Amino acid sequence: MLNRLSIQARFLVAPLVGVVLASLLYVVGFNTIRSHTDILKNLAATNLPQIGQLNQLTISLADLHNKISIVLLSAIEHGDEEIVYLQGRKQLNQLHELEKSFEAISSQHAWEEKQAKYLKDIPVAFASYRETVIHSIELSTVDSNRAIKELIEAERVLVRLNGELLTLSEHFIEEMANASSMIDATSSKNQWVNLFAVILLVTMIIISLYISRRLSKGLSSISHAMVKLAKGDLDVTLPNLSDTHLLEQQHALGTFRYVLLANRKHQIDLEHSFEQLQDSERRYQGILDVTATAIVVINYQQEIVLFNKAAEKVFGYQEKEMIGLPIHHLMPKGTHQKHDIYVDEFANSDIDYIPQMKRTPVRTLNKNGNELFLDISLSKIELAQEVLMVAAVTDVTARIYSARELNTYRNKLESMVEERTRQLKAATQTAESASRAKSDFLANMSHEIRTPMNAIIGMSYLALQTELNKKQHNYISKVHLSAENLLGIINDILDFSKIESGKLDIEIINFRLDDMLDNLISLVDIKVEEKGEELLLNVDSDVPTALIGDPLRLGQILTNLVSNALKFNSEEGIVRIEITLKESSNDSVLLHFLVNDTGIGMTDEEQQKLFQSFSQADSSTTRKYGGTGLGLAISKQLVEMMRGEIWVESEAGEGSTFHFTVPLQKQQGSGSSYSSMIASGQDDGSESIRKLHGAVILLAEDNLINQEIFLEVLNCNGIMVDVANNGQEALDLLEKKSFDCVMMDCQMPVMDGYSASRKIRQQERFKELPIIALTGNAMAGAREEVLAAGMNDHITKPINFNAMFNTMAKWIKPNSSSS
Amino acid sequence: MKKYISIIGLMFLILGCLSSLEAEPVSKQQHSTSELISALKSGGHIIYIRHASTDLESKDTDLSDCNRQRNLSDIGRTEAKDIGLVIKRLGIPIGDVYSSPYCRCKDTAQLIFDRYKIDQNLQFSIKKDRETSDKLGQHLLSKMQMADVSQHNDVFVGHTSNLRDGLGVFPKPEGVAVIFQKQGNNLTFLGMIKPGQWSVALEQQE
């Protein structure tokens, strides 16, 4: 049966059975030992130290109780509560430590359910003992008898506590005893298994000895024959063998002998080829040695296999030092891993050649340890047995160093530039914020300046209405004129500062171009008349009148330009305003405005300074014509804020033409165009005054001077006025009497104009009552605020009375409500 | 035996003196009762009152149940009421009154001042382990330091050990009022007024 098994199997059978048996023995034995050690380990880890700790705890408790007794007894002796407290405190701290150590013991142990009662009883006993001791300490200086009684009670509790601890300790000992008896039982159960395994093992050893002996006989005869063959003695007699597997061996031996005979012939041929090969190699070595290019060749293990003379010059090593050394020898330490990956990728890739320009210079070391930067061209030679990598090396160290230096200089320069830019930026910001603060201040001055201006203009106006002699009339009219000029200047400065501080917003509201032009004409009319000039207005028929934009600012630009034109025009000259349509689409237009005068004109030089702040064409004209020089600067800013353009054409002595373009949106569904007209001073408010005759007005105004002015002006023109000093009074008066209109000052004590207007609008019956705001504050946004509060329109202070009457006439229909 | 005990007692006395030499959190000045009372009238002080006399038969077994605590005795109640009357008659301005959660302290505060706020951290620190009792002492000190007594005097009603642990002063006997002057964060121990001394001081003043 054994003969049929292969030799390998036969060799394997014996050890295999041995291993199985040994494993069996091991598993059985190991399990037994492990279960025993586990039991012992658990006992040792928990029970033994715990028993020790419990005993220690009991001893410590006894000791502590002793000390407490001494403290208390001495307290009874000297009776100082504080000292008892201090001493007692120490012992109580000790007691707390002992309680904690018990907690530690109990938490180490895995408790079964029936043991849980120890967990409850012992801490309770501890607490009871502690309370008794504390009570005893407190009593010790007050009532010594009772203190001693408490001390005895404490001792009783301590005995109980010790009893509990002892029971617990006994429990642990019992657990240990149970465990050791368990070890005895399992040991005897495992004994017969061990015996059986030993018998099997002995049998198996005997069988395997028999098999080995049979096999080794045949094998030794074959090996004798092999030894002979190996020595070159091909004349071998082969042994006679009956074993089938050994016979196969014998055949193989015969074939081997035949092959050896054939090989002897080949060897002679090989020796010849080898000589030829050596010649060839010497030839190539000679070529390599005279080449100027440094060449290093490595194999797949990255060992240097070739290092030519030029390479010796570059690196400073001799060829014989380098052959067989890893290429790492030439590389700085940190680059090894990267280099390995690179070489590995190249060796395994399909690419055979990498020219140097594809790669950045490689960092290497020469013999002195100095850095070298090399351009390397790589090529791969795949031989039958191995892959060789050939590196053609050019030293570019000098080039790299100079490039590096250049880079450092560039970085330094860049950071200097950055630093300087930052400083400049900071300086600019500081300057800008200072300028903005100044502008803010000016913008907020608006109200403060206008209120007294109103008094001056209003009062002088009233004075001019009274009987004055010629001299007085002359004085007062100059005061009036100067005040109006001053107001113009202040308005310019405030506007300019608002633009500067970014507080001026361009509105986008529906408006009619003809309304805007009406306003313009009423404003400049008086001046036109005074100077005997003529004003021509020409609006192209295709200019739409219903537009969307900022009529107030558009009017301001035109007023500026027209005022300038009037100012610089010759006596009885003509000022021409032309408005034409430059571009038009479905929903927007680009309007071109032109203001032309026949005045003194300007030279090219003067024109260039024209739109700058605080500058006039000629400083000498300042004296003659006055003005702040801000009008054009403001106009330019406003035009640009509306995304338009402004420019001038002029020649000295030939008059000037100011142009500006403004893009505006068209109101949808309204196409009525303006027709050309000629306007000259007609609308002086008299028509409005006629319409307003008999109207009853409620004036809410807190400033007494202003009250007086309004009363005088309105009464003179046949308008009846009731005065309220604040918003609350206005509301009260509205309850009692009905009015055609309310003129509402915005800033008043008690209740301001905005709140009063909102309250009025809350009442259904006053929904249609016209309310006109009087604002001392002509800042952008004032109008929105007024409209948002429910008012219909607003008049800015100081009051231009003609404009006031026009505005009032727009809203008031007298007798619509009878008083 | 008796000699032996007295030697040990002497040793403890020395130890006690040594331990009281440790740096205390407050400086000390001794003032007479009448000086203390006139100082209290202008505010700026902290009064620590140990609960009044108690019934020593009973023990503390449950902090949440007054019936299972050591409570004020009849004498203690009279003491507290009397102190309250004197403080009112003298017109001593009282700000916040904080009490330990123990019933003997709450009762003392109620009988003297007719009002109190419970501060759990004023509870009897002798029952706690060293770490907790140190914390409770420190709490008492910092609460006193933070009290704003510019217009009046703040009151703490509590036990012996907290004050000893926190400020190094042992209030004795039961019902004693310990007076600290407060200037900024500095507390100065001025002296103690025992329960019987209040009414004596009142008679002297009148």
Q: Is B164 on the interface with A (CB under 8 A)?
A: yes
**What is the pLDDT of chain B when averaged over all its residues?**
81
pLDDT of A242 higher than 70: no
- Taking residues A763-770, report their average pLDDT: 88
Confidence band (pLDDT; 50, 70, 90) for B3?
A: very low
Contact B9 A146 (CB under 8 A): no
Contact B56 A142 (CB under 8 A): yes
Question: What domain range is B175 assigned to?
Answer: 25-205
Find the closest chain B residue to A141 by CA distance.
B173
A727 or A253, which is more confident? A727
Domain presence at residue B72? yes
Q: What is the pLDDT of residue A330?
A: 86
Residue A381 is encoded by which pair of tokens? 């030679």
Strands of A247-340, DSSP E: 294-298, 304-307
pLDDT of B52 higher than 70: yes
Facing residues of A633 across strands? none
| Rounded (10°) angle between helices B33-41 and B74-90 | 60
- Taking residues A269-273, report their average pLDDT: 82
pLDDT of A115 higher than 70: no
pLDDT of A3 higher than 70: no
Q: What is the pLDDT of residue B5?
A: 45
Q: Is A142 on the interface with B (CB under 8 A)?
A: yes
Q: What is the pLDDT of residue A280?
A: 84
Confidence band (pLDDT; 50, 70, 90) for A780?
A: low
- Taking residues A279-293, report their average pLDDT: 82
Contact A96 B129 (CB under 8 A): yes
pLDDT of A565 higher than 90: no
Considering only A219-233, A535-549, A800-814, which range has the smallest mean pLDDT? A219-233
Contact B170 A70 (CB under 8 A): no
pLDDT of A675 higher than 50: no
Q: Is A145 on the interface with B (CB under 8 A)?
A: no
Domain presence at residue B1? no
pLDDT of A660 higher than 50: yes
pLDDT of A382 higher than 90: no
Considering only A189-203, A274-288, A327-341, B172-186, which range has the smallest mean pLDDT? A189-203
- Number of domains observed in the structure of chain B: 1
- Taking residues A433-454, report their average pLDDT: 71
pLDDT of A329 higher than 80: yes
The CATH number covering residue B137 comes to 3.40.50.1240
A237 or A549, which is more confident? A549
Classify domain A4-189 by CATH architecture: Up-down Bundle (1.20)
- A787 Cα distance to chain centroid: 42
The CA distance from A53 to the nearest CA of chain B, in Å, is 21
- Topology alike, domains A291-395 and A404-504: no
As assigned by CATH, the class of the A291-395 domain is alpha beta
Considering only A243-247, A380-384, A722-726, which range has the smallest mean pLDDT? A243-247
Domain presence at residue B18? no
ipTM of the complex, rounded to two decimals: 0.76
Which residues, at least 6 apart from A141, have a Cβ–Cβ distance to it below 8 Å?
A: A75, A76, A79, A80, A81, A84
B14 or A552, which is more confident? A552
The CA distance from A81 to the nearest CA of chain B, in Å, is 8
- Taking residues A348-373, report their average pLDDT: 80
Among the partner residues B6, B19, B70, nearest to A86 by beta-carbon distance: B19
Classify domain A686-811 by CATH architecture: 3-Layer(aba) Sandwich (3.40)
Residues in chain B closer than 8 A to A74 (CB atoms): 5-6, 8-9, 12
- Tell me the per-residue pLDDT of A70-112, one tens digit each, with 9 for 90 and over: 888 777 777 777 788 888 888 888 888 888 888 887 776 666 6
Contact A74 B160 (CB under 8 A): no
- Interatomic CA distance for residues A88 and A72, integer angstroms: 8
- Tell me the per-residue pLDDT of A16-33, one tens digit each, with 9 for 90 and over: 776 777 777 777 777 777
- Interatomic CA distance for residues A744 and A701, integer angstroms: 7
- DSSP of A609-666: HTTSTT--S-HHHHHHH---S-HHHHHHHHHHHTT-EEEEEE-TTS-EEEEEEEEEEE
Residues in chain B closer than 8 A to A73 (CB atoms): 5
Q: Is B126 on the interface with A (CB under 8 A)?
A: yes
pLDDT of A434 higher than 50: yes
Q: What is the pLDDT of residue A694?
A: 83
Considering only A436-440, A667-671, A776-780, B13-17, which range has the smallest mean pLDDT? B13-17
- Tell me the per-residue pLDDT of A476-509, one tens digit each, with 9 for 90 and over: 888 888 888 788 777 777 777 777 777 777 888 8
pLDDT of A628 higher than 70: no
Query: How many interchain CB pairs under 8 A, A with B?
Result: 68
Listed ranges A587-596, A784-793, B27-36; the one with the highest mean pLDDT: A587-596
Considering only A153-157, A681-685, B87-91, B163-167, which range has the smallest mean pLDDT? A681-685
Facing residues of B157 across strands? B49, B99
Confidence band (pLDDT; 50, 70, 90) for A669?
A: low
Confidence band (pLDDT; 50, 70, 90) for B20?
A: very low
Among the partner residues B8, B13, B129, nearest to A93 by beta-carbon distance: B129
- DSSP of A337-360: HHHHHHHHHHHHSS--EE-GGGSP
Domain presence at residue B153? yes
pLDDT of A2 higher than 60: no
Q: What is the pLDDT of residue A455?
A: 83
Confidence band (pLDDT; 50, 70, 90) for A42?
A: low
The CA distance from A172 to the nearest CA of chain B, in Å, is 29
The CA distance from B191 to the nearest CA of chain A, in Å, is 16
- Taking residues A183-204, report their average pLDDT: 71
Q: What is the pLDDT of residue A567?
A: 81
The answer to whether the beta carbons of residues B187 and B145 sit under 8 Å apart is yes
CA distances from A731 to A723, A757, B171 (A): 12, 9, 72
Contact A78 B5 (CB under 8 A): no
Q: What is the pLDDT of residue A680?
A: 38
- Tell me the per-residue pLDDT of A586-595, one tens digit each, with 9 for 90 and over: 889 999 999 9
Q: Is B59 on the interface with A (CB under 8 A)?
A: yes
pLDDT of A763 higher than 70: yes
Contact A131 B60 (CB under 8 A): yes
Domain borders along chain A are: 4-189, 291-395, 404-504, 506-666, 686-811
Which residues, at least 6 apart from A251, have a Cβ–Cβ distance to it below 8 Å?
A: none
Optimal mutation site among A80, A93, A138, interface B, most CBs of chain B within 10 A: A138
Q: Is A143 on the interface with B (CB under 8 A)?
A: yes
Among the partner residues B12, B60, B164, nearest to A87 by beta-carbon distance: B12
Report the 10 Å Cβ neighbour count for A532: 9
Which residues, at least 6 apart from A216, have a Cβ–Cβ distance to it below 8 Å?
A: none
Among the partner residues A74, A130, A131, nearest to B12 by beta-carbon distance: A74
Pick one of 3.30.70.100, 1.20.1090.10, 1.10.287.130, 1.10.150.120 as the CATH number of A404-504. Answer: 1.10.287.130
Classify domain A506-666 by CATH architecture: 2-Layer Sandwich (3.30)
Listed ranges A358-362, A417-421, A526-530, A632-636; the one with the highest mean pLDDT: A417-421
Confidence band (pLDDT; 50, 70, 90) for A668?
A: confident
Strands A696-700, A509-512: pairing kind: unpaired
Residues in chain A closer than 8 A to B129 (CB atoms): 93, 96-97, 100
Percent of chain A with pLDDT over 70: 83
Find the closest chain B residue to A75 by CA distance.
B9
Contact B9 A87 (CB under 8 A): no
**What is the pLDDT of chain A when averaged over all its residues?**
79
A514 or A252, which is more confident? A514
B50-67 burial, b at 16+ Cβ within 10 Å, e below that, comes to: bbbbbebeebbeebeeee
Residues in chain A closer than 8 A to B160 (CB atoms): 81, 85
Domain presence at residue B15? no
Q: What is the length of chain B?
A: 206
